[in-house]
Structure 1
Amino acid sequence: MTALNSKPDVRPANPNFSSGPCSKRPGWSLESLSDAVLGRSHRAKIGKARLAEAIDLTREVLKVPADYRIGIVPASDTGAVEMALWSLLGARPVDMLAWESFGSGWVTDVMKQLKLENARKIEAPYGELPDLSTVDFSHDVVFTWNGTTSGVRVPNGDWIPADREGLTICDATSAAFAQDLAFDKLDVVTFSWQKVLGGEAAHGMLILSPRAVERLESYTPSWPLPKIFRLTKGGKLIEGVFKGETINTPSMLCVEDYIDALKWARSVGGLSGLIGRADANLKVLTDWVEKTDWVDFLAVDPATRSNTSVCLKVVDPQVSALAADEQAAFAKAMVSALDAEGVAYDIGAYRDAPSGLRIWAGATIESSDLVALTAWLDWAFAARKAELAKAA
């Protein structure tokens, strides 16, 4: 551990470890967006071409099956998830899985806003997965692949049967491009540009399997749908949404930035390259945690630990003996100290999560920066621990 007041010699070259919006790709600059189609209609030929390119590159890099539709939709991942929930649910019972704040948010929307009486909540505390064997796949199933605020992910798609009767609706916003999504087990996949690829916010991606399209065209919800959620017209899928004809006006600057990120992803080896970068980053943090006695992963099972939103807790006995608000203050003081030094920005635990740290380790982060960060984490802990000793 770094001695008190002895600051590490090496600083992360990039201190942006926020879990969203996440760090831009290595080497990014505004000049990279010089070809953006600005001041032109997104419905003009050139605008449609750029939007279609973004969809085509998404399919290529993410390895989306050819018969799945990919659409660019408003309001980030939240908008994409809400479109799916409001448009698809209600045809059969639904199992809602939650083990962190965003999954809990979808539970609230389905049970308190849509008020589905045949919805069942299956949950687990932060750091754990619920018992996936209890899921009933004759029901629709809604879950997050990677819990952004808990650092807990499903290890694979083996728990989802191929012959399921219901639809699987997966919020994959902090998993897409960093984890191997089992598309054959997923009927709806959503994510946003500002996570693993470090794109800009406010746009979401909605990916539909043929089974999801069949549901849309054969089932009409009993509640009214706002225009921004409508995916069908006259009982047929609005195919234009999945060809770049967006429901509302997109930011073409953000579209160009997303295309730039996708081209970078292709240059580092595509999906396997991106996963490899994130896995290498997780290994840096895992190696450090294993030799550091004051910190541990929030995720209990190593097989479920996220390689993007890495959530950590302070387990030092003296700190753990403090009251909950004092433990939170301890972690916040560490975060503030690192921010003031300019070595790590925005690494505090999510507001609804247990106190601790949350460090983004996705593909746009360089492993060398995480190596440098770990020494600073030790420094921040030692400094705060010394302050506690003085106050005692």
Structure 2
Amino acid sequence: MSTFSANKPARAPERPWFSSGPTSKRPGWSVSALTGAPVGRSNRSKVTVARLNQAIDLTRSILQIPADYHVLVMPASDTGAFEAAMWNLLGERKAQLLAFESFGQLWADDAVNHLKLDCEVLSAPYGQLPDLSQIDPQADLVFPWNGTTSGVCVPNSDFLDGHRGLVLCDATSAAFCMELPWQKLDVVTFSFQKALGGEAGFGVLVLSPKAIDRLNTWDSGRPIPKVLRLKAKGPNNTQIADMKIIGGDAINTYSFLVIEDYLDALRWASLEGGLEGLINRCNRNFNTLREWVEATPWIDFVAEVEDQRSTTSLCLKFVDPAVQAQPAEVQAKLAAKIGSLLEIEGVAFDVTGYRAAPPGLRIWCGCTVDADDIDSLLPWLEWAYAEALAALEVA
């Protein structure tokens, strides 16, 4: 077993926020960023509609979303946006769902147990991807681009070449941090509070012309709650795409404090060089942590294949043989103790792994985090690991 000095490191991260959601605010953020919010105004007033349209336009510009794709804001975060897509679009043909972490499994459970679709779930344990060669190009495909809870990411978009069915992509921990192949994706969702550290409660739903065509030409007949409904009454009592909602009209009332916070993050992203600048920030953070992981014998990535490792949500597992020999509940206590020690010292918040993942750590390395803070965190991880081992008497 590795041994470390019990001395606390001298330098602490200036910004100790490494949660995987909601993530760290942009550097320099303060509540004064919200002072321009049009609070107390109707969500249909000119000023509030203009704010929302500005957020949608900036989102489109930074993410380089094609002009013929529709961008709209949905209630209930990424979950609400993705559920709306599933409930409105799926069922015309067979669906396949990739489940290699918690949220992919959630969409699979919804498809099987609630929507009761003709579907196939392609599963893989934490740390691995399903066999992408098993994807049927004729089926509708549902998958997360990046596994926030597993740290596993699809390595490229080659598996989508020639896909004929709709492609629904949960990109909540990939958008603004990774390039997305828009022309191969028909539905993309993400949330304000992920990559850009915005406040919670709303999600973004991006629909391709192919997705709009599905809305206009096929109806499941299933009842859909209003907050998820993307269709409206058309000619001869048909159901077609609700272009008021898809055009940006509110399904329900927005918080314009949240919209203002998102606008602030988008303006910062533009100043950082847009998508290219944000990706470069992520890569610097990832490489700083990667080099430490590769040099540290007691820790390793949950993601087993190098080119499938997330650059945002870095999930780590204990590989010290003495720790691995312990029951899972002891390893979970070790991770919790490390997290508690770091929080008490005020040097890192919310860095324990997801509850369903292998016991370990999860450190957000997205674009709002600074590489210097990752670098400052690393000696604290070693200190906390040694302290936790001693406290739990793991030998």
Which bin holds the TM-score, normalised by the shorter protein? Answer: over 0.9
- 1:275-314 superposed matches below 5 A: 275-314=279-318
State the shift of 1:338 in Å: 0.8
1:242 equivalent to 2:246? Answer yes
- Secondary structure of 2:265's partner? helix
State the shift of 1:232 in Å: 1.8
User: CA separation in 1, counterparts of 2:252 and 2:364?
Assistant: 31
User: CA separation in 1, counterparts of 2:231 and 2:392?
Assistant: 60
- 1:70-89 superposed matches below 5 A: 70-89=71-90
1:348 equivalent to 2:383? Answer no
- Secondary structure of 1:31's partner? helix
State the shift of 1:277 in Å: 0.4
Q: Is 103-112 or 225-234 further displaced after alignment? A: 225-234
Q: Normalising to structure 2: TM-score of the pair?
A: 0.96
Q: Is 377-386 or 1-10 further displaced after alignment? A: 1-10
User: CA separation in 2, counterparts of 1:66 and 1:344?
Assistant: 40
- Is the 1:313–1:356 contact (alpha carbons within 8 Å) kept by the matching residues of 2? yes
Q: Normalising to structure 1: TM-score of the pair?
A: 0.97
Structure 1 residues 54 and 323 mapped into 2: Cα distance closer, same or farther (>3 Å)?
A: same
- Structure 2 equivalent of residue 144 of structure 1: 144
- Secondary structure of 1:111's partner? helix
1:55 partner letter? I
Encode CA deviations 1:3-60: one digit per residue, 9 max, x unaligned.
4320000001011111111000000111111111111001011111001001000000
User: CA separation in 2, counterparts of 1:119 and 1:155?
Assistant: 24
1:129 equivalent to 2:133? Answer no
- Is the 1:52–1:243 contact (alpha carbons within 8 Å) kept by the matching residues of 2? no
User: CA separation in 1, counterparts of 2:158 and 2:191?
Assistant: 25
Runs of 4+ in 1 over 6 A off after TM superposition: none
User: CA separation in 2, counterparts of 1:269 and 1:380?
Assistant: 36
- Structure 2 equivalent of residue 228 of structure 1: 227
User: CA separation in 2, counterparts of 1:371 and 1:56?
Assistant: 35
- Structure 2 equivalent of residue 23 of structure 1: 24
- 1:1-392 superposed matches below 5 A: 3-116=4-117, 118-161=118-161, 163-233=162-232, 234=234, 235-389=239-393
State the shift of 1:193 in Å: 0.4
State the shift of 1:384 in Å: 2.0
State the shift of 1:2 in Å: 8.1
- Is the 2:18–2:349 contact (alpha carbons within 8 Å) kept by the matching residues of 1? yes
State the shift of 1:252 in Å: 0.6
Structure 2 residues not aligned, in runs of 5+? none
- Across the aligned residues of Structure 1 and Structure 2, the Cα RMSD in angstroms comes to 1.2
Encode CA deviations 1:223-259: one digit per residue, 9 max, x unaligned.
1111112212123322222333110001011001101
User: CA separation in 2, counterparts of 1:106 and 1:3?
Assistant: 43
User: CA separation in 2, counterparts of 1:189 and 1:387?
Assistant: 45
Encode CA deviations 1:190-214: one digit per residue, 9 max, x unaligned.
0000011000100010000000000
1:167 partner letter? L
Q: Is 7-16 or 330-339 further displaced after alignment? A: 330-339
State the shift of 1:344 in Å: 0.7
User: CA separation in 2, counterparts of 1:315 and 1:9?
Assistant: 27
1:132 partner letter? L
